[in-house]
Structure 1
Amino acid sequence: MDFKNYYQALGVERNASEEDIRKAYRKLARKYHPDVSKEPDADRRMREINEANDVLRDKEKRAAYDALADQVAHGRYAGAGSGDGFQPPPGWDQGFEFHRGPGQGPADHAEFSEFFSSLFGAAERRSAERRQYRARGEDHHAAIEIALEDALKGAEREITLRSQTLDEHGMPQWKTRTLSVKIPPGVHPGQYIRLAGQGMPGHGGEPPGDLYLEVRIAPHGLYRIDGRDLYMTLPVTPTEAALGAQVKVPTPGGGVVEVTVPRGARNGLKLRLKERGLPGQPPGHLYLLLEIALPPADTEVARKAYEQLAQAAPFAPRRHLGV
């Protein structure tokens, strides 16, 4: 296990202000969030910056981490720099108190590194035992991926989650559980489904926390989601685009409708099917993006037809370029 440089993970200096840390985290989260990032290591980097943010945004954790980093830098404890890797020295956290209370944010400690757990896991447990506080249980967060059809019509699905709990000796252990989740119609990416009482147990007789499931919708073969709206590429022939036509289109809820392609339609023209998107208040729309598909000139007949068209209807698409 290596010593982690949390400042380096967020790309900030050690004397960075709380505002600097907040801005750096938001910038990196936008870049590496698995829902939108195309980076190959997005999932790993997102866990790293979540962990670094969890420590550096908390004054007590940051102060303790800085003190330990100074010890590591100056080799002030036995084992520093040994071939066995980093291990926190006994009593390194003396004088500090750590507490992750309910509602502090979506980062899940179970997703953090062994380094984080070795520093703050036991320390937070001992702090809680010393205070014997009464507190509602911590909320947990997880992600659930559903099909577009589930978002359109609603569904009930079972999910399996892994979380870290404490055994009778106060040691962390992994627990697997299966939950039944009702997915309401019209749910959209980024929305949270709340499962009351499915978070961490409360302290001192207080109620447990809740479990918040962040909705992710799996990629679909035809439709792309933007908020409550859906987008679909609609191929049309050059003849349909030039002369106008009635074409059949599949709809997300099932079934087929006819839409009018206007005469002289251009590539990329957007047609709207009102309220054919995700249900809600208000419901979304289905947008059709026209894509002119050229017939291949792979036969003698097709080639002659293109030659006849070029002679019958001369066209200069690059005239505006001045060439």
Structure 2
Amino acid sequence: MDYKDYYKALGVDRTATQDEIKKAYRKLARKYHPDVNADQDADAKFKEAGEAFAVLGDAEKRAAYDALGAEPPRGGQGFRPPPDWEQGYQFSDPPHGAGGPEDAAFSDFFENLFRSGARAEGRTSGMRAAGQDQHARVTLDIGDAFNGTSRVLTMRVPEMDDAGRMMLKDRNVSVKIPKGVREGQHIRLKGKGSPGIGGGPAGDLFLEVAFAPHPTYRIDGRDIYVDLPVTPWEAALGGKVTMPTPGGEVGITIPENARTGQKLRLKGRGLPGKLAGDLYAVLKIVNPPTTTQAGQALYEQMAKEMSFDPRKSMEA
């Protein structure tokens, strides 16, 4: 996707106050509104200004956008935000009146960054209104997802100072992680979103669950995959070995003549839930190094006695 310079679109500096941003948007909206400007590019500029205001006119989105940095990528490559750049930010809907007809879609840049329906809302608020819902992401270890836990998250909440400039304030939020939570699942914290207006109820906070990379486990839905190293003799003769799982070590039986890539299923050992997932041990045969003469002699003896050609079935 292409990088969008929203400050340039509105013709303001990155240090502009919210009032300056609002005035710049209104000026462009009046100039390029389709009802008053019939130029061929007026509609595109009107929508561009509306999208820019949907970000810069919202304290939460502006803080997150500023965190991306001012420079677009070089070398003609598509823009990609830094990993986990949105951690701790809370995104709400675009501000009311953010330009364009109600069914106008915003750019891929906006959609990918803020995961919003990106529709400007034309309705106005009453004296008493519920607060907007907020969205953020929480990254968990697989052990936390397997066993459940409690966490205190520090959210970066943007606020305006007396001069109308944005500052970030830390806000601690306690959250209970349910046992067996899945990646991509949303945890709802009722009343932890934006405060209401005129005594209205606060919105909710929705936390999207992500899993931190793990050196041993891979997750697919509720199933867990483990690469299990075995020796050549364990694979050939079979036997019982011990392997780690998020719930503790378990014994697993290796069948005779096992092969690399073979999957052994442990039913119900995946992520917990009404229907628990399974754990799959994916066998990986590991050859011991030949560091002694005796070890080398053993390999030479195997080569003579077994007459095994693993490439026999290959076609030219």
Show the counterpart of 1:191: 185
Whether the 8 Å contact between 2:96 and 2:124 is mirrored in structure 1 is: no
Q: In 2 relative to 1, CA 109–194 (structure 1 residues): closer, same or farther, beyond 3 Å? A: farther
Q: How many angstroms apart in 2 are the aligned matches of 1:266 and 1:115?
A: 47
Q: Does 1:270 align with 2:263?
A: yes
Q: How many angstroms apart in 1 are the aligned matches of 2:219 and 2:255?
A: 25
Unaligned runs of 5+ in 1: 1-9, 12-47, 56-64, 73-78, 81-86, 102-106, 117-122
> Could you tell me how far 1:172 is from its partner in structure 2?
3.4
> Could you tell me how far 1:214 is from its partner in structure 2?
1.4
Show the counterpart of 1:156: 150
Q: How many angstroms apart in 2 are the aligned matches of 1:89 and 1:178?
A: 31
Aligned length: 237
Q: Of 172, 180, 196, which aligns to 1:178?
A: 172
Show the counterpart of 1:230: 224
> Could you tell me how far 1:187 is from its partner in structure 2?
0.7
TM-score, with length taken from structure 2: 0.64
Q: How many angstroms apart in 1 are the aligned matches of 2:246 and 2:25?
A: 58
Q: How many angstroms apart in 2 are the aligned matches of 1:197 and 1:90?
A: 33
Q: Of 26, 44, 47, which aligns to 1:93?
A: 26
Counterpart of 1:311 in structure 2: which amino acid? K
Q: How many angstroms apart in 1 are the aligned matches of 2:193 and 2:164?
A: 18
Counterpart of 1:113 in structure 2: which amino acid? D
What is the 5 A alignment of 1:242-257? Answer: 242-254=236-248, 256-257=249-250
Q: Does 1:205 align with 2:199?
A: yes
Q: Of 118, 134, 141, which aligns to 1:140?
A: 134
Q: How many angstroms apart in 1 are the aligned matches of 2:300 and 2:294?
A: 10
Q: Deviations over 1:36-75 (max 9, x none)?
A: xxxxxxxxxxxx5xx78xx9xxxxxxxxx9xx95x97xxx
> Could you tell me how far 1:169 is from its partner in structure 2?
6.8
Whether the 8 Å contact between 1:198 and 1:210 is mirrored in structure 2 is: yes
Q: How many angstroms apart in 2 are the aligned matches of 1:181 and 1:115?
A: 27
RMSD across aligned positions (CA): 3.8
Whether the 8 Å contact between 2:137 and 2:209 is mirrored in structure 1 is: yes
Counterpart of 1:296 in structure 2: which amino acid? P
Whether the 8 Å contact between 1:229 and 1:285 is mirrored in structure 2 is: yes
TM-score, with length taken from structure 1: 0.63
Q: In 2 relative to 1, CA 124–288 (structure 1 residues): closer, same or farther, beyond 3 Å? A: closer
Q: Does 1:315 align with 2:268?
A: no
Q: How many angstroms apart in 2 are the aligned matches of 1:147 and 1:238?
A: 33
Whether the 8 Å contact between 1:240 and 1:261 is mirrored in structure 2 is: yes
Q: How many angstroms apart in 2 are the aligned matches of 1:169 and 1:203?
A: 22
Q: Deviations over 1:270-289 (max 9, x none)?
A: 00001111101211111000
Q: Deviations over 1:76-120 (max 9, x none)?
A: xxx99xxxxxx979544245697999xxxxx9443123899xxxx
Unaligned runs of 5+ in 2: 14-19, 31-48, 55-59, 70-93, 99-120
Q: How many angstroms apart in 2 are the aligned matches of 1:153 and 1:296?
A: 38
Q: How many angstroms apart in 2 are the aligned matches of 1:91 and 1:143?
A: 32
Show the counterpart of 1:216: 210
> Could you tell me how far 1:155 is from its partner in structure 2?
0.9
Q: How many angstroms apart in 2 are the aligned matches of 1:89 and 1:172?
A: 14
Show the counterpart of 1:241: 235
Poorly superposed stretches of 4+, deviation over 4 Å: 87-92, 95-101, 123-128, 167-171
Counterpart of 2:227 in structure 1: which amino acid? T
Between the aligned residues of both structures, percent identity stands at: 43
Q: In 2 relative to 1, CA 90–219 (structure 1 residues): closer, same or farther, beyond 3 Å? A: closer
Show the counterpart of 1:21: none
Show the counterpart of 1:284: 277
Whether the 8 Å contact between 2:25 and 2:50 is mirrored in structure 1 is: no
